[in-house]
Structure 1
Amino acid sequence: MKLKLILLAAIALIFAGCAKKAPTFSVAQTWTEKPSKLTIVFTEPLVENEDDLKDDIEEYANNFGEWFKLELKKDYETYIKGAIALDYKKVDAEGMIIETDHVDSTEFKTPKPASMEQGNGYYLAISNVIFTRREDAHANQAYYSSGAAFGANVNPGQNSMAFAGETIVEKGLWIYADYAIYNQSGERVAFGHEEIRSKFAYAMTRSDWEKCVLAFVKRSIARTPILK
């Protein structure tokens, strides 16, 4: 019986590893040119637990949008390194239109600036940005695959994670964000949705907020001609 359970667990792991993940972004194959200018347009991000913000970024607790703008500016300039002229613009909800697009059966919310000056470079729109602190529990696969769950004789030195228990709880600060990029004619050439976590063992700090934004910035342009 124990052997049968172990085999079933192993088969489940194989199928989990082979499962096709839903797409998170799309870049038009026709987009090959590197833009000479990029305007980043964004809406006010939402923080689900404002006490976290007060603890970690106290000086921007009442003006989080300004902190977000400064982080975007720092991070985009880190990756683009002066190769493209950059501009930044914060808009209210009326300044951003939320459309939809899809990759196969996966639907995306695609933000679009209500005002774009055609012929004046590309636009990168960012919206629906949410920061949230979460604790995620998931099955400890080492525990089950080692046989520890079934009373097997497991050497801790070989697989100490097997003795961490049936589940693992991971703490993290998450950022969720939708984005889309438009060319000089106002045509959408890329879009995506990102869910990024900065894990921490005990206490969340300012660096977790910074890591989330940095990772988002990198993903939003990493697969595009912007970094050619």
Structure 2
Amino acid sequence: MNDTGLAAQNRLSAIYSQGALYEAVYRGRGKDYATDAAAVAAVIRERCPDAVSLLDAACGTGAHLRHLVKEFTDVEGLDLAPSMLAEARARLPGVRFHRADMAHFRLDRTFSAVTCMFSSIGYLPTTTALESAVACFARHLDPGGVLVVEPWCFPERFTPHQVMSDLATVDGTTIARVSHATLIREGRACRIEAHYLVAAGGTDVRHFTDVHDLSLFHRQEYEAAFTRAGCTVEYLPSPDGRGVGLFAGIRTVG
């Protein structure tokens, strides 16, 4: 891992060192990984009907790969957080996982498709890092392979000072989460500060704070990164108008 990768590891939010808790939080919030994975698989099949292999960058606990492995015969995952990878490996023991920074990795192969889901791309701090990551994804594509990236919120759609809350009980553990979002870096990023209360039978209530800094890249900046990486690019809005949509591109031959 290079110095940039180590710096990125040091910036990991607290929740990413607690893979099991992260999994419980999003199960409680009703995150529909199966529907997301089916939509991504359809996007890939439309552009590359014969796709057989897939790399999921920033794969987290493998919740998308759990479903994508049913669509593609050869899948691998990549993430920076050891705790998240531990959950992914336990969930998918037959799948190969790599610990690496999505903006700086080099594997010994290419794939029919590369995905980066759940707005993980937003953790990249600059457009230079964005371009580095997309170029890295493209280098790991077969000629004619498909790249799918789920962006973070565009600047014009971000709501400053938004407060959100969740309460869920999963496998006997109750989790309360309250978050507050503000603009930082002169409006080029947002900071989400989340407070968690976690309680299970027979244990004390635990509190911790989790801070996420996410870049607010413009649509044109995503598109420029795809183009510079030698990929076509198309923005696919969310069908219900509430999600962030997807960027999809094909690595041009040559």
Which TM-score band applies after superposition, normalised by the shorter structure?
Answer: under 0.3
Bigger radius of gyration among the two:
1
Q: When the two structures are superposed, what TM-score results if normalisation uses the length of structure 1?
A: 0.25
Q: Which protein, 1 or 2, shows the higher relative CO under an 8 Å CA cutoff with sep ≥ 6? A: 1
- TM-score (normalizing by structure 2): 0.23
